[in-house]
Amino acid sequence: MAVRATVTRFPIDSDAQEACGIPWGLTVTPFAAKDENGQAPVYGSDGHLLPRCENCYAYFNTYCELDQWAWNCSLCGTLNGLSSEAIARYSRPQSCAEMMSSFVDLEFPLEGSEEEILHARPVYVAAVDLSSSEEFLELTKSALQAALEALAPESLFGLATVSHKLGLYDVQGPIPVVKNVFIPQDAEGTLPIELEDVMPLLQFLAPVDTCKDRITSALEILRPTTSWARTPPGTDQELDGVLMGGRGFGMAMEALCNYLGSEYGNTFALARVFAFLSGPPDHGPGQLDTRRYGEQYASKGEDADRALLPEQTPFYKDLAAVAVQAGVCVDIFAVTNEYTDLASLKFLSIESGGSLFLYSNTDDSTLPQDMYRMLSRPYAFNCVLRLRTSTEFKPRHSYGHFFPDPQYENVQHIICCDSYATYAYDFEFANNVGFSRHSSEQPMVQIAFQYTVVVPPEELPGSELLSSSRGKHSIKRRLRIRTLQYGTARNLNELYDSVDPEVVLSLLVHKVILASLEEGVREGRMLLHDWLVILTSQYNEAFNLIQYKNGSSSIMGQLDVTFSQCPQLQPLPRLVFALLRNPLLRFHEEGVHPDYRIYVQCLFSALEPSSLHRAIYPVLTSYSTPDKQAYPRHSLSRAALITSGSPIFFLDAYTTLIVFYSSTADPSLPFPPPHDCLLRSTINKLKQERCITPKLIFIRGGQDDASVFENYLIEEQDVNGTGLTSVMGFVSFLEDITQSVLEYMK
C-alpha cells in the first residue's frame, strides 16, 4: 500500500492552508505489494481480533499508547479497555504483526463453509462483437489466445458473441456448438427466453485445462456479420443475411450479467467479462445515438467540449449496478476510430471494477499484450477502502474508480483492484482550531483496505490442503492497514519545502476532470490556469518578493513566476503548461476525439503519481551511444536537443516510448539499438513495470517522419513550423501567468 501526500508537513490551520495555495491531500495505491519506500507489510493472522476504538472505530496500531489493561487511540485519543485475549496476545509483542509495524496485512476469517470456500473458481467470459471487420476479429482472437495462456488451468471460460443476436458457445463436446438468441431491435425490448434455458451456465463455462483446444477451435470459426450476407439462397443462413447488422451490446451485457449472477458465491467469487467492441451499440436496449457527434451540437451552437462529455443515457451506469450485484467485473476493449460514445459506455467498466481500453486501429494495436499483462498480475476483489484521520481534519472529497458506500461516509467499495489502481483524497479542517503546536499530537491518517484474493493451490500451506480439495483454488479474506503520522509546518517556507509536485499534479488532474465533466473543458482549463496564478501570487507574498508602493496598487520588486527560491515548486508551471496542452484539456476544434478524451480521463484518474507525471510531461533522456546515457533529463524543446549535442534521444510518454536518432548522428551507430544494450534493457524494464503495453517507436531523423516525436516537444513557441504562434510556447505561457498574477494582485 503506497501512500503519498501533497505535503509531508501539513498546514497548521485553515488560514495556513488558505494562504499556501497547495491542494492538501494524498494518493493511495492500496493493493501495491510494498509502500512508497519499498517496504512490504508485516503479515499476520486473526485480523478479526484486532482491537478497535470505541469512539472512532480506528484500528489499534504502533502509534497507540499501550499499558497493561488499556490503550489510547492515536487518532482520537480515546482510552479503550483490552479484552483478556488481547492482554495475553500483547504480552508477547513479537508474535503480533500490529505490534511490530504500522503497516500490516492480516488474514480475516471467511464466512461460509470450507467446502464453498474451496470450490470457488476464477470465471472469465469473452463477449465478442461480430458486427465488425475480419481484422478486428483476428486481433480479438489473438488477444483471447494470449488470455488463455495467462489463465490458471482451473479457471472456467465462456465464449459469447454479440451482433443482432447473442450467441452462447458450448465447447465441452467434441465440436463447438453455438446457440443464438435474437436481440429485439426496440430500445425497450427484452430477450424472448432466459439464457439459462438456452444453455445451462455450467455447460457454457468450460474448464480451461481440459477445453483449451476446443475453445481455440470455437474462436477459429468466428466470422463477422458482413460475411453472413454472402450466403446462397435457400440456405438456413439466408435469414441471417436479411437481418444482418446491428450491435445489441447493451441487451447482451445485461443478459450475461443476470446469467452469471445465478452462480455468484457458489461457482465463482468474481466473474470477469471481456467485452470487445468495434463500434457503438446501435441495436436494442442500450443503443446509443452517435449523431450527437458532428452536426447536432454545431447546429444548436453548443460547446462541443461540454456536450460530448456527459453520458446520453443512464443505461450503462444502471447496468454497472446490476453487474456489481451479480459479482461481475466488465473490461471494455474498444478497437475503433468511429465515434462510439465512451462517455456513456465507460460506467459499465469503471464502476464494475474493470478497465477501459481504446485502440484506434488494428494494425499496431497492443491488445493481445495488454490482455496477457492484465491477467498475469494479481488482483483483489470485493474490496472496501476506508480512510480515517485524527479529529482536527477530515476527508473532503474522494476520487477514483469506486462507488461510495450508501450508508457510511468515507467508505469506498472497489469491485476489482490490481496493484496499480490508485485513489485520491483531499482534506479540510474539521474546525477553526487546527493542529496542536505540541509535537506530541501530530496529524494521523489510517487507511484500512479489506479485500479478497483467490489463492492457487500451490500457494496454500500444506496443512490447508485437504485431500478432497487438492488442485482447487482457495478464497482468502485479508485486512491491510497503514497508519501514518505527519508533521506540521510552522510557516509557509516549511510547507513549500515539503511539497511533492507529482501528488499535487494527481490532485489537480482529478479536479480538472471533475470540472470538465460538470462544466466543460473550457471551465477545466480556467480552473487550472487560475490555480497557478493564485499559487504564484501567494508564493511571491510569502517570500516578500514584492511590495506595494506607498499603499497604492502598483507593485515594486521582480515577480518570480518560476519559483526560483523553492525547488519543490519549480516543476509546477511546466506540469500545468503540459496539462493544458494534453488531450485531456485541449479543445475539440484542435482535433481531440471525444472518445479519446474519455479514455485519457479514465486512464489518468487511476494512475499513481509518478506514472501520471510521465503521461503528462514525458521524460526525455539522451544517450551518446546505445550503451551509454548522456543526460538523464531534458526539457521538451528542440533547443534542448540541439544544445545537448547527443545523437540518441529516448522519450517516455507512458503510453508511448520513442527512440529518436538525430539527423547528425554518426551513421556507424547501430539502428535500431541492439537487443543487448543499456537502452534496450531500460526500455524492457519500463515495459514490464507498466499497467498497459506502451507503443515502441524507432525514428531516424532526416529519413523517417519525425512528427510523432516532435509533437511531444511542447515547450516550443513555433510548434508547427509555420512561424505562427498558433500554440502558446512555455516562455509565452510564463509571460501570460506574470500578467495574470499582476492583475490578480491589484
Q: Does domain 120-225+244-376 have CATH number 3.40.50.410?
A: yes
- pLDDT over threshold 70, residue 462: no
pLDDT digits (tens, 9 = 90+) for 500-537: 999 999 999 999 999 988 888 888 999 999 999 999 99
Instruction: In whole angstroms, give the CA distance from residue 414 to residue 382.
Output: 6
Instruction: In whole angstroms, give the CA distance from residue 290 to residue 277.
Output: 15
pLDDT digits (tens, 9 = 90+) for 206-219: 999 899 999 999 99
Instruction: In whole angstroms, give the CA distance from residue 497 to residue 490.
Output: 12
Instruction: Look up the CATH superfamily of 2-111+378-458+471-489.
Output: beta-sandwich domain of Sec23/24 (2.60.40.1670)
- pLDDT over threshold 50, residue 463: no
DSSP labels for 259-280? HHHTTBTTTBS-EEEEEEESS-
Q: 170-184, 425-439, 564-578, 643-657 — which is least confidently predicted?
A: 425-439
The predicted pLDDT at position 310 comes to: 77
Q: 71-85, 412-426, 465-479 — which is least confidently predicted?
A: 465-479
Q: Residue 467 — very low, low, confident or very high, per pLDDT cuts 50/70/90?
A: very low
Q: Residue 119 — very low, low, confident or very high, per pLDDT cuts 50/70/90?
A: low
Q: Is the Cβ–Cβ distance between 727 and 720 less than 8 Å?
A: yes
The 3-state DSSP class for residue 433 equals coil
The 3-state DSSP class for residue 615 equals helix
The mean pLDDT value for 185-197 works out to 87
**Helix or strand holding residue 127 (H, E):** strand 123-129
Q: Residue 297 — very low, low, confident or very high, per pLDDT cuts 50/70/90?
A: very low
DSSP labels for 670-731? -SSPPTTSHHHHHHHHHHHH-SS--EEEEEETTTS--HHHHTT-TT-SSTTSSSS-SS--HH
The predicted pLDDT at position 239 comes to: 43
Share of the chain above pLDDT 90, in %: 52
Q: Is the Cβ–Cβ distance between 415 and 382 less than 8 Å?
A: yes
- pLDDT over threshold 60, residue 744: yes
pLDDT digits (tens, 9 = 90+) for 345-358: 999 999 888 899 99
Counted residue by residue, the chain has a size of: 746
DSSP labels for 365-413? --HHHHHHHHHHS-EEEEEEEEEEE-TTEEEEEEESS-EE-SSSTTEEE
Q: 269-278, 436-445, 524-533 — which is least confidently predicted?
A: 436-445
Instruction: In whole angstroms, give the CA distance from residue 319 to residue 250.
Output: 8
Buried b (16+ CB within 10 A) or exposed e, 184-195: beeeeeebeeeb
Partners of residue 700 on adjacent β-strands: 661
Report the CATH fold assignment for 509-711: Four Helix Bundle (Hemerythrin (Met), subunit A) (1.20.120)
Residue of 408, 189, 153, 177 whose CA lies nearest to 315: 189
Q: Is the Cβ–Cβ distance between 249 and 130 less than 8 Å?
A: no
Share of the chain above pLDDT 70, in %: 88
DSSP letter (8 states) at residue 161: E
In terms of Cβ atoms closer than 10 Å to its own Cβ (0-12, 13-18, 19+), residue 659 is buried
pLDDT digits (tens, 9 = 90+) for 553-600: 556 568 899 999 999 999 999 999 999 989 898 887 777 888 999 999
- pLDDT over threshold 90, residue 657: yes
Radius of gyration, CA atoms only, the chain: 28
- pLDDT over threshold 80, residue 641: yes
Q: How far is CA 678 from the centre of its chain?
A: 30
Mean pLDDT of the chain: 86
Domain boundaries, the chain: 2-111+378-458+471-489, 120-225+244-376, 509-711
Q: Residue 105 — very low, low, confident or very high, per pLDDT cuts 50/70/90?
A: very high
The predicted pLDDT at position 465 comes to: 45
Q: Residue 51 — very low, low, confident or very high, per pLDDT cuts 50/70/90?
A: very high
The 3-state DSSP class for residue 651 equals strand
